[in-house]
Structures are given as structure tokens and as C-alpha cells.
Structure 1
Amino acid sequence: MADWNRGHGSVDGMLDAENKRLADNLATKVSRLKSLAYEIDREADDQNDYLDGMDSNFLSATGLLSGSVKRFSTVVRSGRDNRRLLCYVSLGMVLVFFLLYYIVSRIQH
């Protein structure tokens, strides 16, 4: 009977050691998951801040474009002289852009 108790005690010791090893392994994995969850939360906050900034930038660009469209519509609806001036300015801007494109492409080669 004494041998059985001693054998039973060694099995308990082995099971206890195995449980401790598995508990340590589990604690390591839980700690790793906790740090990953913290990093994901921080990244989500950073992305939300970035998107909020983009939203305000888009709103300001929308305001700028709508004001430009209103001014352009006013010029187009006004008299013939303004339309002619608008045509000359537009043609001049296109020529300037082509000239700049040509100069930059020559410099790069």
C-alpha cells in the first residue's frame, strides 16, 4: 500500500509540473495577445486621427472648388468681353503648362 501512495504522489508531481509548464505557456501567449491588442488599438486611433484630418482637408478643398466654380460661372455668364478674356487666359495657361512640361522633360534627359 505504501508503494501505491508513493507512485501516486510522483504522478501528482508530474501532473503538477506539466500544469505549471502549460500555465506558463498560456500566460506567455496571453501576454503576447494583450500587447497585440494594445498595438491594434493604438494603430486604429492613429488611423482615425489621420482620416479625421483628411476629412477636414477635403471639406476645405470642396469649399475652395465650389467658390472657384461660382466665380467661373459668373465670368461665363457675363458679357462677351469677359468670355474672350477667359479664353485667352485659359489658352495661355495651357501653353505655359506645355512649356514647363517640355523644359522639365529636357532637363531630366
Structure 2
Amino acid sequence: MVEVFGQNGSGVEDMLDVENKRMADSLASKVTRLKSLALDIDKDAEEQNRYLDGMDSDFMSVTGLLTGSVKRFSTMTRSGRDNRKLLCSVSAGLIVVFFILYYLVSRAGT
């Protein structure tokens, strides 16, 4: 009777050992997938950081251009009467160009 119990105990241990190996393999494959996902997320984050850094430098250059334009515009408005007439003409021209572009874009969208 001891031999039967010993064989059953050994059989149970073998089954548990096989089950443990199967679960360990399953866990190893899940860990490998998680590691791959983590590396992909890291790569994507680095690419997005590079993209944002590029956008930051672009915005800084546009800010510099706009600041210079505003300074020139302010200088023109503060100067003599002739420049005010020029300023009104330029402003009216820009408004007309804006409406023409708006009309063309709305027309192209339909």
C-alpha cells in the first residue's frame, strides 16, 4: 500500500511539475510581450519628444518674426501722416485679400 501511495504521489508531483513548467512558459511569453510593448512605448515617446522640440523651435522663430512685424507696424503708426494713409491702404488691401481667399477656399470645399 505504501508503494501505491508513493506512485500516486510521484504521479501527482509529475503532473504538478508539468503544470508549473507550462505556466512558467506562459508567464515568460507574457513578460516578453510586455517588454516589447515597453520598448515600443519608449521609442514612440522619444520620437514625440523630438517632434515637440522641433515644434518649439519653429514657434520660437515665428514668435521672433511676429515680434519684428509688430515693432515695424507700431513704428509706422507712430510716424507721420503719410504713413497713416499707407497703413490704411495696406490694411484695406489685407482685408480684401482675406475675403478673396476665404471665398476661394469655401468654394473649393464644396
| TM norm. shorter chain > 0.5 | yes
Cα shift at 1:95: 1.5
Cα shift at 1:23: 0.2
Distance of 1:102 and 1:26 partners within structure 2: 62
Distance of 2:11 and 2:107 partners within structure 1: 86
Identity of aligned residues (%): 62
CA gap 1:82/1:54 in 2 versus in 1, 3 angstroms: same
Matched letter for residue 94 of structure 2: M
Aligned to 2:81: 80
Aligned to 1:6: 7
Cα shift at 1:108: 5.6
Matched letter for residue 42 of structure 1: K
Aligned to 1:24: 25
CA gap 1:18/1:103 in 2 versus in 1, 3 angstroms: closer
- Number of residue pairs the alignment of both structures matches: 109
Aligned to 2:103: 102
Aligned to 1:91: 92
Question: Which stretches in structure 2 are left out of the alignment for 5+ residues?
Answer: none
Aligned to 1:49: 50
When the two structures are superposed, what TM-score results if normalisation uses the length of structure 1? 0.91
Q: Which runs of 4+ in 1 moved over 6 A?
A: none
Cα shift at 1:99: 2.9
- The root-mean-square deviation of aligned C-alpha atoms, in Å, is 1.6
Matched letter for residue 12 of structure 2: V
| CA deviation string 1:30-88 (max 9, x = no partner) | 01100110110011001100110010001000000000011001101111110111101
Distance of 2:30 and 2:108 partners within structure 1: 58
Distance of 2:106 and 2:45 partners within structure 1: 42
